[in-house]
Amino acid sequence: MDYSMNDTIAALSTAVGDAGIAIVRISGPNAFPAADRLFLSGGRTRPKKHSGLPDGGSGPFGRPYGDRAGQAPDGHVGKMKSHTVAYGQVADPADGGLIDEVLLLKMASPRTYTREDVVEIHCHGGRVVAGEVLRAVFAQGVRPAEAGEFTRRAFLNGRIDLAEAEAVMDLVRSHTARGARAAMEQLDGRLSELVAAMREALLTLIGQMEANLDFPEHDTGEVALDMAGPILAELQAELRRLLDSYSQGRILREGLNLVIAGRPNAGKSSLMNRLAGYDRSIVDEIPGTTRDTVESFINLRGFPVHLLDTAGLREATDAVEKMGVERTLDALERAELVVAVFDGAGMPGPEDAKLVERLKKSGIRSLYVMNKADVMDPTVETALRELLPDRPLAVSALLGTGIGALMDRIAETASGNRFESDNALLLTNARHRHLLEMAESALAEAVKACREGMTHDVVAFLLRDAWSLLGGILGADAGEELLDSIFSRFCIGK
């Protein structure tokens, strides 16, 4: 695609279709002359019925009333002050025919969206009129803008960085007020500022390390660690916080994956039905009732949650149950939160201990639930409390006791305890996350290199790596290919 910056480009910047107004945006070195060739400033064209003047009489500014078709444009755009609006008409220079009555907004470089000269023609909405205005603009040597090309120019001309450009797209696309707010925060440059500050801190460190290279007697990992350790730890913490915020953002968009697991007959399906608020899953006193995963999408305290009831975990005897258990194990791998259910009606067995071990090892966030609290006797409770980590919750899926507390704990996990602070910066973009993850692992390697007593140049190299990865978020050294892939997802006219 040819994105020559010398071209003047134009597009319809409002949605196509029936609307009160439409805006044709022109940007580039020829924006003003091109607009000048089309624009007739001031004056109504036709006499008002009550004006009492004969057709062709003189108006208040010495302009003739009447049909102005065929009249020459008056070079008004060139003379207008920047950032002002003029009323007038667009005429087709080819035949002088009037196309529409418009407001023309002139904005001179550099205080514009693209930093170039920009003209916006606010014309009547609807496919036909706006299309005709646009066609007349194109006839003046102005080419149609590619998708996202205005924003691309804003980036290439240094008005916004890449993260901000991407935020523009997120803002245009956001479906929820919460999503729009997150995009606006980034458009406002909050992510960019944070990333820029991190890069600056890294650069300072790199400078110090490289200065130390000149003093070989100091050239030990010890010194590097002393100097860099606290700063690197802080940077890592910041990166992790940002990366965590991505999963929060994802949960808001797509829902938390919650898996209910436990041995047969523990009451998993009963709990699922309690949480879902209806009888989604079959409950029976025979162990091994649920043989496949059963899903339900619920709104839990305002958070979208995918509930997954699973087949009870035990050494299955028949083939179908075996497959069910396989599916449970699969589901556990993909879970973001596990509600592990234990049967309070009897003493815990080896399957229970095995589940606890599995969850501890996996590192998946887990809530431990002692079910059947209505019939749980104290010796069982003591044994369960000994077995289960954290603060196990006593509930009765049958009676509904303790379910509110369980929901609170689930919502806490979904929110990452962070949603109270509504203005926390949320990472929303997958490209940004990828770069931050790589930067984080470069930093982790740098910390390790310090610890292992590597030389300064090794550490400095890793820090440089992190520094340039962070730069990728802002669009430093962004190649054409990356820009194409980002901006082609924009709409035309943005």
Ligand X SMILES: Nc1nc2c(ncn2[C@@H]2O[C@H](COP(=O)(O)OP(=O)(O)OP(=O)(O)O)[C@@H](O)[C@H]2O)c(=O)[nH]1
- Residues near Mg ion (CB under 5 A): 268-269, 289-290
Distance in angstroms (rounded) separating the CA atoms of residues 410 and 301: 9
Distance in angstroms (rounded) separating the CA atoms of residues 97 and 106: 23
Sequential DSSP letters for 290-332? --S-EEEEEEETTEEEEEEE-PPPS---SHHHHHHHHHHHHHH
Q: Which of 265, 264, 282 is nearest to 273 (CA)?
A: 282
Residue nearest to ligand X (CB): 312
Contact between 371 and ligand X by CB under 6 A: the answer reads: yes
By beta-carbon proximity to Mg ion, the closer residue of 285 and 420 is: 285
Distance in angstroms (rounded) separating the CA atoms of residues 371 and 267: 7
Q: How far is the CB of 447 from ligand X (least distance, A)?
A: 45
Q: Which listed option, ligand X, Mg ion, none, makes contact with residue 192 (CB within 5 to 8 Å by class)?
A: none
In angstroms, the Cα distances linking 407 to 306, 381, 411, 420 are 14, 21, 6, 17
Residue in the block written with tokens 């245009």: 172
One-letter amino acid at 362 equals S
The string over 88-104, giving b where at least 16 C-beta atoms fall within 10 Å of a residue's C-beta and e elsewhere, is bbbbbeeeeebbbebeb
By beta-carbon proximity to ligand X, the closer residue of 228 and 338 is: 338
By beta-carbon proximity to ligand X, the closer residue of 66 and 312 is: 312
Q: How far is the CB of 283 from ligand X (least distance, A)?
A: 4
Q: How far is the CB of 336 from ligand X (least distance, A)?
A: 21
By beta-carbon proximity to Mg ion, the closer residue of 236 and 289 is: 289
Candidates 267, 348, 471, 493; binder of ligand X (CB under 6 A) is 267
By beta-carbon proximity to ligand X, the closer residue of 398 and 458 is: 398
Report whether 32 contacts 77 (CB < 8 A): yes
Q: Which listed option, ligand X, Mg ion, none, makes contact with residue 284 (CB within 5 to 8 Å by class)?
A: ligand X
Contact between 40 and ligand X by CB under 6 A: the answer reads: no
By beta-carbon proximity to ligand X, the closer residue of 225 and 373 is: 373
Q: Give the chain's radius of gyration (CA, Å).
A: 33
Q: Which listed option, ligand X, Mg ion, none, makes contact with residue 8 (CB within 5 to 8 Å by class)?
A: none
CA atoms within 13 A on the CB side of 270: 24
CA angle 182, 186, 189 (to 5 degrees): 150
Furthest-apart CA atoms within the chain: distance in Å: 105
In three-state secondary structure terms, 368 is strand
User: Residues 379-398: x/- map of binding to ligand X (CB under 6 A)?
Assistant: -----------------xxx
By beta-carbon proximity to Mg ion, the closer residue of 13 and 269 is: 269
Q: Which listed option, ligand X, Mg ion, none, makes contact with residue 396 (CB within 5 to 8 Å by class)?
A: ligand X
Residue nearest to Mg ion (CB): 290
By beta-carbon proximity to Mg ion, the closer residue of 248 and 273 is: 273
In 126-218, which residue ranges form alpha helices assigned H by DSSP?
127-138, 149-156, 162-173, 177-187, 190-212
Contact between 374 and ligand X by CB under 6 A: the answer reads: yes
Of 267-275, 403-411, 417-425, 451-459, which segment contacts ligand X by CB under 6 A? 267-275
CB within 8 Å of 109: residues ≥ 6 apart: 115, 116, 117, 118
Residue list 270-329, contact with ligand X (CB under 6 A): 270, 283-285, 287-290, 312
Q: How far is the CB of 272 from ligand X (least distance, A)?
A: 8
Q: Which listed option, ligand X, Mg ion, none, makes contact with residue 457 (CB within 5 to 8 Å by class)?
A: none
Q: How far is the CB of 380 from ligand X (least distance, A)?
A: 12
By beta-carbon proximity to ligand X, the closer residue of 72 and 399 is: 399
Q: Which residues bind ligand X (CB under 6 A)?
A: 262, 264-270, 283-285, 287-290, 312, 371-372, 374-375, 396-398
